[in-house]
Amino acid sequence: MSESIDHTLRGSWTPSGAGAAPLSAHAVRWLRQRTGLGEQLTPAVPPSLIEIPEDVLPQAAHAELVALVGAENVLTEPGQRLGRAGGLSYSDLIRRRRGTGVTVPDAVVLPADPGQVQRVLELCVRHDLAVVPFGGGTSVVGGVDALRGDKVAAVTLDLARLDRLISVDPVSHVAVMQAGMRAPDAEALLAAHGFTLGHFPQSFERATIGGFAATRSAGQASSGYGRFESLVEGVRLATPAGEWQLGTAPASAAGPDLRHLAVGSEGALGVITEVALRVRPAPVHSRYEAVILDGWQSGSDAVRALAQSHALADVTRLSDRDETEVQVELSGGMQARVLWALLRARRVHEPCMLVLGWDAATRRELDDRRDATWRVLRRFRPVRLGDKVGESWKANRFSGPRQRDTLLDYGVCVETLETATHWAGLSELRSAVRAALLRTLESEGKPPIVMCHLSHAYETGASLYFTVLAVRDQQDPLGQWQRAKQAATEAITERSPGRAMGRGTITHHHAVGTDHKPWLAGEVGPVGVRVLAAAKQAVDPTGILNPGKLVDGE
Amino acid sequence: MSESIDHTLRGSWTPSGAGAAPLSAHAVRWLRQRTGLGEQLTPAVPPSLIEIPEDVLPQAAHAELVALVGAENVLTEPGQRLGRAGGLSYSDLIRRRRGTGVTVPDAVVLPADPGQVQRVLELCVRHDLAVVPFGGGTSVVGGVDALRGDKVAAVTLDLARLDRLISVDPVSHVAVMQAGMRAPDAEALLAAHGFTLGHFPQSFERATIGGFAATRSAGQASSGYGRFESLVEGVRLATPAGEWQLGTAPASAAGPDLRHLAVGSEGALGVITEVALRVRPAPVHSRYEAVILDGWQSGSDAVRALAQSHALADVTRLSDRDETEVQVELSGGMQARVLWALLRARRVHEPCMLVLGWDAATRRELDDRRDATWRVLRRFRPVRLGDKVGESWKANRFSGPRQRDTLLDYGVCVETLETATHWAGLSELRSAVRAALLRTLESEGKPPIVMCHLSHAYETGASLYFTVLAVRDQQDPLGQWQRAKQAATEAITERSPGRAMGRGTITHHHAVGTDHKPWLAGEVGPVGVRVLAAAKQAVDPTGILNPGKLVDGE
């Protein structure tokens, strides 16, 4: 790609625009052919043209904040505020690229430690200020939008200075970290002690420990290492009702496990300031490989068999035919021609790529685990693509957001959504969501590519992750996606007598934020919403914490 | 044991008294020698002498209950009420054996299905009646004591008629069961479909699915199959605020995981009526064996190494020297002499028995898993006792409560308590709790035997389960134990700068009930108690649900 594109501040994954993944000429041709994409590029407006509302933080509150955390940690310049204005959903990016509708905080406050976070909250209660906790800013559900609600002003609480590794217990395999620590820093610090978290979501390069906990994050290797909530041994939160510390043991029967209320609380029930996490010895050996299975059903049967016989690789990721095709075509014309020829020769009708990755402490453990996987997998007649494809997937596993930036420049509507359900209903749910997305976007004259993968398998079910590519509606880009998302979520949440297991969850690892809030009552029931509202009321009686996200107080 | 003993209704594990495990002459001699136990037996008073308070259920409420569930399902006879009067803690049993202080409900109601449970709750709200959910009645923390609180009368809700297996999904490995189903019935019904829950706590023979969920139960094979909460895919509760259904997928990021609020709610946040559970293929092969390790530290290091290298057997149970000695001596004089001689010859100074049990679908899987365990275990120089001792442990694994009945007849104070903490502090915590129990009971002139085992291991820590045997204080048997329990819990919850990891949980799998309630705020913090109280207020605004247990409303 030779055209030069301006990247606005946080209008893209990489604030500077550096590192946006280019598309090959073949990929662009293929995409134009498949979606009807035009030749016109759609660059973002320059930052100076983004509408930034006046800062309405009262002078007295500003002065108190300065006294508390220091003037250099209370940011009110438009550029600084814009740098923490919302997350990185397609809608967030489109708003910034167009320069309108961006939710910009009135101030950004950077407390030094958990004690300061607690005092900032108390200050915000006194001045009736909304508080939006902010880690890596990678929310794709509106979770860090600087909404003010009915408060006087919105303060974004950037936890970047809470970046300490508090302790590593090499006997118990527990590390305590502050919430603002970035995932790569956490891994680097743990590596010095011989440990890893093993938590690698696509947001890895920017996301924080606190953000992972607040959103019940799942990583690409979570089939092996467990979802983030399963790593959480303890958690410390600041709340308007006082500090809250949870976790005395790996397991307890002391009533409900309130760690599971703190984890996933999305800044609405407190600000997570420290997390005690299970760590594992850093792997010495690893191996990634890829195979092709013929058909989605066969592929998901294979992954189910692996999950139910405890033979999953740490990374186990099955792409459907469309995603397999896109991955291959975007990687280049030559590779694509070779692979399709191979698969034709092997009479594979519906090629679905399965990426497998194992980590291990010893060569023997690696071999044993890989053997266990293969003993099960063999029954499903996989076509091996070898380690090179697997390693290439690993090398590019965080590049999705960068590729998205490029696609946005090309005028593509590109967004993802995810769900999970039990195995018996999985394929049906995939078909229903696909159909809803295809129908909605086609009916508006923009036939999409809808791709799906299964990346998190459990004994009883699995996740489904959809990626949509379509020509962007330049007049109404937000509405175009909202209508598609609405239709998909209705397909996910519908209770139909014809659907075996009923329905899926509204989100498997993206959290609720603003975007899924309308469907929360369907997920946890009216009683569930009432309980959450009561919990919020108990810890945050005036409702300063992240208004408009997850749940409202009573 | 030749003496004949009367067993009162629920004054023992087996209501009829049949099946109480006799002690050998050697065991009785050894026990008398070790504890100073006298010759006098202490039989229970006959049921006719148990004080049963008048039933104070208002006539109008009684009539409505009869209209709702049928006369045969509203029990008000003294014997019927006594049959559901509290649980099976040492204090419960002592009160019944003495005939005083038993908390007897005013009526026992047996609803037919979840809908009737919901309507019974609504009726009880109208008539201001306390509702005590009752499954197997095996609580050892006062969880099913028929406390009335500030309500008009106490109704025990016996869920025995909710005993249906609703569905088995052989693809997803999920079974939906009603809450009142007994564990052995659940296993028998699942076995017909080729599945098992793999949940075998000592209360197995009597406990129910709903009780397991309400108390976050852990079973003897939970190192392999997972604690009960990890089996729960979904849960349905009746609450005064309406029916509440949770669980759409194996995992979700839709805010806090409220299943973890329902699980462990001990009847205080709703009555669990149905549970969707992960099941596993019933094992075809199993093997149990026992080894001796020299020293508690070496033993717990071995179990830690197994947990941290994912090589745990499904059952992994390490007894300290005292528990090993008691197990051996109670099993008979000849075995004891042979074993002690063997261990002397092998120069074992502090014999600690480790029982290991593996389940598997195939012989190969069994061998592979056993090999994996042994590869780690070998480093700790175990002395093999062979399969016979392991199989004998398995055969007797539910006999503890029966043996307790016999010990109670002999005038022994016999009770257990449990905790869990992280590995780094485990041995220190064991020493502290042991010391507290020894000190307290010795100071009252009744030097105890304090035994401990580690039966649930996690990557980051493990449980500790203590059993105490001492001569019973016939004047003040309840106070004797309460003082010991108080001292032990203080040792568990104490935050001391000299203690590496601080402290343990107030209960690893016995729940809170009445007995642990005073320490809940220390466990989850004042903010945690406030959140639980708010949740209770939201689902149970008038506070009818299980008053006095877990937490009070706001």
DSSP code string of B532-554? HHHHHHHH-TT--BSTTSS----
Enter the pTM of the model.
Answer: 0.95
Alpha-carbon gap: A368 to the closest alpha carbon of chain B (Å): 10
Residues 6+ apart with CB under 8 A from A491: A429, A432, A433, A435, A436
Are residues B255 and A551, on separate chains, in Cβ contact within 8 Å?
Answer: yes
DSSP string, A74-138: EE-SHHHHHTTSS--SHHHHHHHHHT-S----SEEE--SSHHHHHHHHHHHHHHTEEEEEESS--
Q: Is A300 annotated as a binding residue?
A: no
Residues found in chain B: 554
* CB of B286 closer than 8 Å to CB of B359: yes
- d(C-alpha B413, C-alpha B438), whole Å: 13
A492 assigned to a ligand binding site: no
CA separation for the pair B372, B306 (Å, rounded) = 9
Shared-domain flag, residues B312 and B393? yes
Strand partners, B245: B236
Nearest Cα neighbor of B178 from B197, B195, B161, B203 is: B161
Question: What's the confidence (pLDDT) of residue B18?
Answer: 52
A313 located within any domain: yes
Whether residue A280 lies within 8 A of chain B, CB to CB, comes out as yes
Is B499 an 8 Å CB contact of chain A?
A: no
Determine whether the interchain pair B249/A419 forms a contact, defined as Cβ–Cβ distance below 8 Å.
Answer: yes
A272 in a known ligand binding site: yes
Residue of A139, A416, A460, A519 to mutate when probing chain B, most B C-beta within 10 A = A460
User: Could you tell me if residue B415 is inside a domain?
Assistant: yes
Cβ–Cβ contact A254 with B under 8 A: yes
Answer whether residue A205 is part of any domain: yes
* Low-confidence residues in chain B, pLDDT < 70: 1-20, 496-502
Contact status of B376 with chain A (Cβ, < 8 Å): no
Query: How far apart, in Å, are the Cα atoms of B455 and each of A289, B395, B475?
Result: 38, 17, 34
**Cβ of A524 and B254 within 8 Å?**
yes
- Whether A151 contacts chain B with CB within 8 A: no
Same domain, B290 and B243: no
Q: How far apart are the first and last CA of chain B?
A: 53
A465 is catalytic: yes
User: A524: which chain B residues are within 8 Å (Cβ-Cβ)?
Assistant: 246, 254-255, 258
d(CA A189, CA B186): 48
* HEC-encoded secondary structure of B363-417: HHHHHHHHHHHHHHHHHHCCEEEEHHHHHHHHHCCCCHHHHHHHHHHCCEEEEEE
In terms of Cα–Cα distance, which of A89, A136, A85, A141 is closest to A520? A141
The separation between CA A313 and the C-alpha centre of its own chain, rounded to angstroms, equals 21
User: In the beta sheet, which residues pair with residue A133?
Assistant: A157
Closest by CA to A319, choosing from A460, A450, A489, is: A450
Q: What is the pLDDT of residues B375-391, one digit of tens each?
A: 999 999 999 998 888 88
How far B351 CA lies from chain A's nearest CA (Å)? 24
Do the annotations mark residue A91 as ligand-binding?
A: no
Residue B416 neighbours by CB distance under 10 Å: 16
Question: In terms of domains, do A74 and A141 share one?
Answer: yes
Instruction: Give domain status of residue B411, yes or no.
Output: yes
Bridging pattern class, strands B174-178 and B165-169 = antiparallel
CB contact (8 A) between residue A504 and residue B258 = no
Catalytic residue numbers of B read 465
How high is the pLDDT of residue A515? 97
Find the CATH number of the domain harbouring B129.
Answer: 3.30.43.10
Helix (H, G, I), strand (E, B) or coil at B455: coil
Tell me the β-bridge partners of A280.
A196
A116 and A202 part of one domain? no
Between CA A328 and CA A330 the distance in angstroms is: 6
Residue of chain B nearest A175, judged by CA positions = B460
Domain identity same for A173 and A146: no
Range list of H helices, A331-422: 333-345, 363-377, 387-395, 400-409
Q: Is residue A203 part of an annotated ligand binding site?
A: no
CB B45 within 8 A of CB B432: no
- Tell me: do A349 and A384 sit in the same domain: yes
Answer yes or no: is A93 within a domain: yes
Of A379, A397, A415, which residue sits at a domain end? A397
Does B539 sit within 8 Å of A248, measured CB to CB? Answer: no
* Domain count for chain A: 3
Same domain for B198 and B248, yes or no, is yes
Please indicate, yes or no, whether residues B31 and B106 belong to a single structural domain of this protein.
Answer: yes
Considering the domain architecture, whether residues B192 and B224 belong to the same structural domain is answered as yes
Residue where one domain finishes, among candidates B281, B313, B342: B281
Residues of chain A below pLDDT 70: 1-20, 496-502
Q: Which of B227, B253, B264 sits opposite A216 (nearest CB)?
A: B253
The A residues from 321 to 340 touching B (CB cutoff 8 Å) are none
**CA nearest to A554 within chain B:** B538
Look at residue B4 in the predicted model and tell me its pLDDT.
34
Quote helix, strand, coil % in chain A, to nearest 5: 40, 20, 40
- Residues 390 through 419 of chain A touching chain B, CB cutoff 8 Å: 419
Q: Residues 456-485, chain A: which have Cβ within 8 Å of B? A: 456, 458-463
Residue of A nearest to B554 (CA): A538
**Same domain (yes/no): B390, B406:** no
User: ipTM of this complex > 0.90?
Assistant: yes
Classify residue A344 as exposed, middle or buried by CB count within 10 Å of its CB (0-12, 13-18, 19+): exposed
Domain at B341, CATH number = 3.30.70.3450
Count of pairs with CB atoms under 8 A, one residue in A, one in B: 293
In a domain, B460, yes or no: yes
Whether residue A494 is annotated as binding a ligand: the answer is no
> A239: buried, middle or exposed (CB in 10 Å: 19+, 13-18, 0-12)?
buried
Establish if A14 touches chain B: CB-CB under 8 angstroms. Answer: no
User: Cα A77 to the chain's mean position, in Å?
Assistant: 29
Could you report the per-residue pLDDT of B273-331, keeping only the tens digit for each? 999 999 999 999 999 999 999 999 999 999 999 999 999 999 999 999 999 999 888 87
| Cα-trace Rg, chain B | 23
CB < 8 Å to B246, chain A = 524-525, 528
The answer to whether B273 faces chain A, any CB pair under 8 Å, is no
Domain of residue A216: give its range.
165-281
Residues of chain A positioned with their CB less than 8 A from the CB of B242: 526-527
Query: The sheet that has A165-169: what strands, in order across it?
Result: A165-169, A174-178, A271-278, A232-238, A244-246
Q: Which residues of B touch A362 (CB under 8 A)?
A: none
- Among B441, B428, B442, B400, CA closest to B494: B428
Q: Is B327 domain-assigned?
A: yes
Q: Name residues whose C-beta falls within 8 Å of residue A371's C-beta, 6 or more positions apart in sequence.
A: none
Asked whether residue A122 falls in the same domain as residue A202, the answer is: no
Rounded to whole angstroms, what are the CA distances from B540 to B147, B226, B532?
16, 31, 12
Please give the pLDDT value at position A16.
Answer: 47
Q: H or E stretch including A331?
A: none
Q: Is A230 domain-assigned?
A: yes
The single residue listed with the structure tokens 């880690």 is A135
pLDDT of the residue at B468: 97
Q: Does B420 touch chain A (CB under 8 A)?
A: yes
Q: Are B230 and B352 contained in the same domain?
A: no
Pairing of strands B107-109, B153-158: parallel
| Inter-chain touch B215–A250, beta carbons under 8 Å | no
Q: Which tokens in the block code for residue B349?
A: 């100074």
Question: Is B505 in contact with A254 (Cβ distance < 8 A)?
Answer: yes
**Residues of chain A numbered 173-232 and touching chain B (CB < 8 Å):** 173-174, 215-218, 227, 229
Q: What is the CATH number of the domain that holds B406?
A: 3.30.300.330
Record the tokens describing residue A267, joined without a space.
């800044």
Q: What is the CATH number of the domain that holds B215?
A: 3.30.465.10
All residues of chain A having their beta carbon less than 8 Å from the beta carbon of residue B459 are 173, 250, 278, 280
Instruction: Report the b/e string of A30-39 with b at 16+ CB within 10 A.
Output: bbeebbebee
- Mark which of A347, A371, A397 sits at the end of a domain: A397
Q: Is A549 on the interface with B (CB under 8 A)?
A: no
